[in-house]
Each structure stands twice: as structure tokens, then as C-alpha cells.
Chains A and B, each alone.
Chain A
Amino acid sequence: MSTENDSTGIVAVLGVGRVGTVVARSALRAGYSVNVASSGGADRIALLVDVAIPGARATTAADAVRDADIVVVAVPLGKFRSVDPEMLVGKVVVDIMNYWPPVDGHLEDFDGDASSSEVVAQHLGRSRLVKTLNHIGYHELEQDAAPGASQRRALAVASDDEDAAGQVATMIDRFGFDPVIAGPLSAGRRFEPGTAIFNDAFTRSALEAELGLSAIAQA
């Protein structure tokens, strides 16, 4: 399974809803091998994957992540505890989830000031968590993608693990966006719902300025 396309790697996407299907298609287009899973068995999503994500492999969550280089968690935030932390130990994991009360209802876990990813990180304690892809509408992930272009849309990447952030940044670049390393996971607060970054689109330099990273350029 891991033999084909090894030069680019394997992306597993957990959740094949609005966001998961688009992320999986982006990963296929970027040359990754893609495994996808929902909370149940493979046959429940077989038709969906066949039609909406042709080329991806539908399987169970545990099987999808086993040999994956990057795992994208695209389940509703209220269900994050249903993702088994054991299978993600040591894995590079992208947290794409947002706390969105009109849809999620009130979730006590996320009442505090911390970034939602810091809360998710407590659950997925031993994985290498990276927050990104959350501040772009799922439809824009395909519409705004411009692989190789200059002046394209930039996406912020936050993680306490620099190497993991780098691997995910490479994936973002292959998806057709400029990755901007925003800092540790706590910096994720700056691109969550309610922030200027969340509500608009930015090029690299504008995003760096929004994130307060352009001190050197200004000096």
C-alpha cells in the first residue's frame, strides 16, 4: 500500500464530510496517496469516495492512519474525543477543526481562552499536532488553490513541533497555498473564528503582518 507514490507520501483524512472530501481531493491532486475514513466501516462510504474522491482509498480510521505520513482530522469538533489517540501516537496530525457554536452547540471544553487546538492537543497528547487549513472555507480550498504561483493565498500553520509544522507546510505548498509558520500551537488563537485572518484572505506578506511576524521586514 505504501509502495506507490512514496516520494510524496500518504495522507489520511478522518471524516469525509464537507471539509474532509475537499481536503482529500486536494491531497490527491498534490500527488499524495490518500486514505479516507469516517467513524464506521469502509462500505458505508464506498460510493461516496468512488464518486466524490475518485482515487482515494476508503477504509477504517485505524487502517487509514497506520502508514500515513500526515493525518488530517476533519470531524466535527464536538466529536474530537471519538478519535482514538492511541492510533495517532507519534503521527503528524493536522487539526482543521473550528469551534463554531451555531453548528457545534455549546461545548464546555472550549469555553476558555486557549486555542481549540490546545484543547485537542490534550486529547491527542502523544501525536505531533499542527493547526492549519481551518481559516479557509472548504469550497475555497479548491477555488483559491494556485500550485506554484506567486502572490497566491497564504495559510497559517501553528505547532509546538517545528519538524511536523515543516512537513505540513510542504503539503500546504503542494495544495497551492503559501504556508506561513505562525509559531506554537497557542498562536492558533490568531486565526480562529472571530479574527481578521479567519474572515478574509491574505497573501504571504499580508498574513505575516497580521500575525505580527514582519518586525524584521519593517525594521
Chain B
Amino acid sequence: MEIGIYSFGEVNQYSNGEATTDVGKRLDGLVSLARAADEGGLDVVALGEHHRPDFAVSAPEMVLATMAAETERIRLTSGVTVLSSQDPVRVYQQYATLDHLSHGRAEIVTGRGAFTESFPLFGYDLNDYDELYDEKLRLLLQIREQESVTWSGRHRPSLDAASVTPRAAQSPLPVWVAIGGNPASGVRAGTLGLPMLIGFFSGTEQFVPHVQLYRRAAEQAGHAPDALRLGASGHMFVGKTSQAARDAFFPYYSDYIRQMGLTGGAPLPRRAFEQSIERGLPVGSPQQVIDEIMKRVELLGITRWLGQIDVGNLPFGMVNDSIELFMTEVAPVVRRETAA
């Protein structure tokens, strides 16, 4: 079982002014978070990619490269690389470089992206959302297999025996497919035989069909079951007690959900917050968070859990307390319970 954290590097602010909106400070904070995670024995740190003024990270590979220099053994991944609006040749080069800088610790987690601001920014048509992702993912996989690439498609100029270098240190460089709730994405990941990272907040049961689809599609495509791999990711906050965690986290979370436009301008009501915890949002005491991770292990068969440790640009002090409890009281128990 691999246990880790991820961040989007938000720079949103709250009415109490406690969050950091300085991009430089936020990025420094992310690097020190990676250092703490590495020293505390976590396995993975992942960084999302957003192209909006309320996020500090549009180029996760740059931040991951800095983290590579400051850490020893933690794996460094995107979460996610919005492949649809990027050039797979460039993505491969960047992560192959990161792989060497980190001595074989790089991974690429690809996705269609939950937000879509990168499409107009890089000149892509949102109507091609799915087709872009499919074409570019296949090209990325081809580049991963072959140094000399001959390829043609609809959304990128053709490649004629083009050499894509440097080659990654790991063979193969891990490439994941991240999915939200769309079941067709599970079929795609299975058909390609790639590891699948399922992003969700609560309602673990709802993803059982996605996992079944993933396995069935892989089987039909001839991939061995033991070549498959599942992970899950989502918001997380660990406090000393259940009540303390909820009370501390709620004001920020509620306002963050509003700021993200997920409610169309209103804060998340407390009742809705409590209900999503009842339904599986890992917010609470160490034991509650352990139980939620174990539920994902049992129902979905995950071997990697990534918690969004600083969701909504939580004040540093809260992030530090949460990650400390996560590393000392949650991770060891989950490892022990999954070791058997």
C-alpha cells in the first residue's frame, strides 16, 4: 500500500486573511510539505495543474523538480496532467527529465481535467474534450515505448521517425489514467491496461461499477489482472478528535467550495458537510480517516491513497497538524492493516 498527499496549490483567501496568497510563499510551502512527507515516510506527493489566478501551480513539473532536489525517496507525480491541452512529446520530455533528476521517482497521472480553462488558453476546442484526451494518451504511450516515433493524428502535427529524448530512467515510466465519475473513463483505462486513479470525495460504493468496468475492459483487451492497479484520491483533513476536525475544517471548506464556484456562489451548508462526512469524506479523527481509507481498500481494491492535504489553501498551521497526524497515526495503521 502506498500512502501520499496531493495539492493544487491554491492561492485563494479567506475573510480572516489567514491564507497565503503570495505565489512564491505558497510554492515554498509546497516544497517544504514534500520534504516533511518524505521525512515522515509517505510514499507519494502529487501536484495538480490549473490555469487560473487562484492557483499557484500551472506547471507542476517545475515544482516537482524542485521537490526532487529536496527529497530522497518519495515518488513525484502530477495529479493530473491535463493531457488534452498539452503536447505529449513535451510532457514525456519533462517527466523523463524529472525522472533522472529524482533518480527514478517520477510518474505521470493524466486526465481529461475537471476544469476546462486550459482549452481556450492553448487553442483547443472544448467540443473535442474526449477525443483530444484519447489521441494524446495513445501518443504518450507510444512515446513511452519507442524512442523513435512515427505517428499521425488529428490534433498534433505528424511525427516521422522523430526522436524523443532523453529517455526516462525507469522503464517504463509510470503513466496513470485519472477518472472522475464517468464510467467510460474506466473502460478506457482498462482497455489500455494502465493503472487507474479514482478521484472522489464521498460515496465510495458508487465506484464499484467503475472498478468492475476497468477490470472487465482490461480482460477483454488481454491485460493480465496482476498488471492492473488502482488508487484513489480526494479531500482529507485529520484532527485530534472527530468534532475538533469537523469544527476546524468546516469554515474553510465551506467557503472554499463557494469560491470554486461549485455551488454557484453560496457557501456549503453545515448539514451538507456533515452528510458528506457520513458518506465517506475522510475528515475526522485518525481512526475515522483510517476507516475511510480501509473502506476504499476493501471495496475498490486500491493500493494507493492520496489525500488532498491542504485543500482550499488551508492556513499552514492546520496543514501541518493534519499531515503530522496523517503520517504518525493514520499511515502506519493502514500499512499494517493492508500488509497481510
Question: Do A and B bind?
Answer: yes
Pick the residue among A18, A22, A103, A139 that contacts B202 (CB under 8 A).
Answer: A139
Which residues A160-186 have CB closer than 8 A to chain B? none
| Contact (Cβ within 8 A) B184 A138 | no
Q: Which chain B residue lies CB-closest to A82?
A: B127
When chains A and B are docked, how far (Å) is the Cα of A200 from the Cα of B263? 10
Q: A51-B216, A193-B263, A195-B264 are in contact. Are A78 and B181 (CB under 8 A)?
A: no
| Contact (Cβ within 8 A) B268 A139 | no
Q: How many residues of A contact B (CB 8 A)?
A: 30
| Contact (Cβ within 8 A) B180 A18 | yes
Pick the residue among B183, B220, B260, B264 that contacts A16 (CB under 8 A).
Answer: B183
Is B119 at the interface (CB under 8 A from chain A)? yes
When chains A and B are docked, how far (Å) is the Cα of A104 from the Cα of B117? 10
**Chain B residues within 8 Å of A143, by CB:** 203, 279
Is B24 at the interface (CB under 8 A from chain A)? no
Is B227 at the interface (CB under 8 A from chain A)? no
| Contact (Cβ within 8 A) A51 B213 | yes
Which residues A1-58 have CB closer than 8 A to chain B? 16-18, 21-22, 45, 47-48, 51-52
**Chain B residues within 8 Å of A199, by CB:** 263-264, 266, 268-269, 272
Is B303 at the interface (CB under 8 A from chain A)? no
Q: How many residues of B contact A (CB 8 A)?
A: 36
| Contact (Cβ within 8 A) B206 A51 | no
When chains A and B are docked, how far (Å) is the Cα of A192 from the Cα of B265? 11
Over the window 267-281 of chain B, the binary record of Cβ atoms lying under 8 Å from chain A Cβ atoms (1 yes, 0 no) is 011011001000100
| Contact (Cβ within 8 A) A47 B180 | no
Is A105 at the interface (CB under 8 A from chain B)? yes
Which residues B186-225 have CB closer than 8 A to chain A? 187, 202-203, 206, 209-210, 212-213, 216-217, 220
**Chain B residues within 8 Å of A139, by CB:** 181, 202-203, 206, 279
When chains A and B are docked, how far (Å) is the Cα of A99 from the Cα of B268? 19
**Chain A residues within 8 Å of B126, by CB:** 78, 104-105
Is A80 at the interface (CB under 8 A from chain B)? no
Is A112 at the interface (CB under 8 A from chain B)? no
Pick the residue among B210, B213, B272 that contacts A201 (CB under 8 A).
Answer: B272
Q: A51-B213, A143-B203 are in contact. Are A193 and B183 (CB under 8 A)?
A: no
Pick the residue among A52, A102, A195, A198 that contacts B183 (CB under 8 A).
Answer: A52
Is A196 at the interface (CB under 8 A from chain B)? yes
Q: A17-B182, A52-B213, A139-B202 are in contact. Are A47 and B220 (CB under 8 A)?
A: yes
Is B17 at the interface (CB under 8 A from chain A)? no
| Contact (Cβ within 8 A) A47 B116 | no
| Contact (Cβ within 8 A) B272 A21 | no
| Contact (Cβ within 8 A) B212 A18 | no
| Contact (Cβ within 8 A) A105 B119 | yes
Pick the residue among B120, B182, B261, B265 that contacts A18 (CB under 8 A).
Answer: B182
B187–chain A nearest beta-carbon distance, Å: 6
| Contact (Cβ within 8 A) A200 B220 | no
Is B339 at the interface (CB under 8 A from chain A)? no
Which residues A175-219 have CB closer than 8 A to chain B? 192-196, 198-201
Q: Which chain A residue lies CB-closest to B215?
A: A51
| Contact (Cβ within 8 A) A196 B266 | yes
B132–chain A nearest beta-carbon distance, Å: 14
Is A86 at the interface (CB under 8 A from chain B)? no
Q: A16-B184, A198-B264, A199-B264 are in contact. Are A52 and B203 (CB under 8 A)?
A: no
